[in-house]
């Protein structure tokens, strides 16, 4: 008997990918046959990384995990999930602050596509306060982000900082 593979989609902007994202995707990869990490293509004015860079970074982070794949998507998430034959949407929950928006999205997606379930997962405690927005902010102000993002993200950001030091960075 060949069971239908269980496929989950993990959508987000991943600008940049953080250890919180990595934690959730790894947990999902243990539960599902295939996990499709879907980078949302939206009209963000000043992204930190281009879509191609984000996809390349995520591919590198999960290079050793054959059941994790990465793509970009646009339009309705449920349409994309159907197209990938995914039965589940995975979302990470950090704190109560995530809940209201996530609750609305999950119910709207259920309204649009009743067979697709949204599953919420909690990251390891030490990642519950990390968001891409905070990483972007801390990095732009010259703060340390090691341990909060995968080493490939840190390396790319450090290379950038070297090429374009902060305007108020001391050189002496």
Ligand X SMILES: Nc1ncnc2c1ncn2[C@@H]1O[C@H](COP(=O)(O)OP(=O)(O)OP(=O)(O)O)[C@@H](O)[C@H]1O
1-9, 11-19, 52-60, 149-157 -> range binding ligand X (CB under 6 A): 11-19
**What string marks each residue from 97 to 116 as x (binds ligand X by CB under 6 A) or -?**
-x------------------
Active site residue 132: yes
Nearer to ligand X, 129 or 165 (CB): 129
Nearer to ligand X, 101 or 165 (CB): 101
Tell me how far the alpha carbon of residue 150 is from its chain's centroid: 12
Q: Is the dihedral of CA 128, 129, 133, 134 positive or negative?
A: negative
Judging by DSSP bridges, how do beta strands 117-121 and 88-92 pair with one another? parallel
| Helix, strand, coil in percent for the chain, rounding step 5 | 40, 20, 40
Counting contacts by CB under 6 A, is residue 138 touching ligand X?
A: no
Counting contacts by CB under 6 A, is residue 20 touching ligand X?
A: yes
Tell me how far the alpha carbon of residue 136 is from its chain's centroid: 14
Nearer to ligand X, 133 or 160 (CB): 133
Tell me the C-alpha to C-alpha distance, in Å, between residue 109 and each of 103, 115, 149: 10, 10, 29
Q: Which residues are catalytic?
A: 21, 45, 94, 132
Binding site for ligand X (CB under 6 A): 12-15, 18, 20-21, 24, 91-92, 94, 98, 123, 127, 130-133
């Amino acid at each position: 008997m060949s069971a239908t593979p269980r496929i989950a989609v993990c959508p987000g902007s991943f600008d940049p990918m953080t250890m919180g994202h990595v934690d959730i995707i790894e947990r999902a990869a243990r539960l599902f046959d295939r996990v499709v990490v879907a980078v949302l293509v939206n009209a963000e004015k000043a992204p930190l990384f281009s879509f191609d860079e984000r996809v390349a970074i995520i591919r590198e982070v999960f290079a050793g995990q054959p059941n994790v794949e990465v793509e970009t998507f646009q339009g309705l998430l449920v349409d994309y999930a159907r197209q990938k034959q995914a039965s589940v949407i995975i979302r990470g929950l950090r704190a109560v602050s995530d809940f209201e928006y996530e609750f609305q999205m999950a119910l709207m997606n259920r309204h649009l596509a009743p067979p697709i379930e949204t599953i919420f997962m909690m990251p390891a405690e030490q990642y519950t306060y990390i968001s891409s927005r905070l990483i972007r902010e801390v990095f732009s102000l010259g703060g340390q982000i090691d341990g909060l993002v995968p080493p490939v993200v840190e390396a790319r950001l450090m290379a950038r900082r070297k090429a374009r030091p902060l305007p108020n960075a001391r050189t002496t």
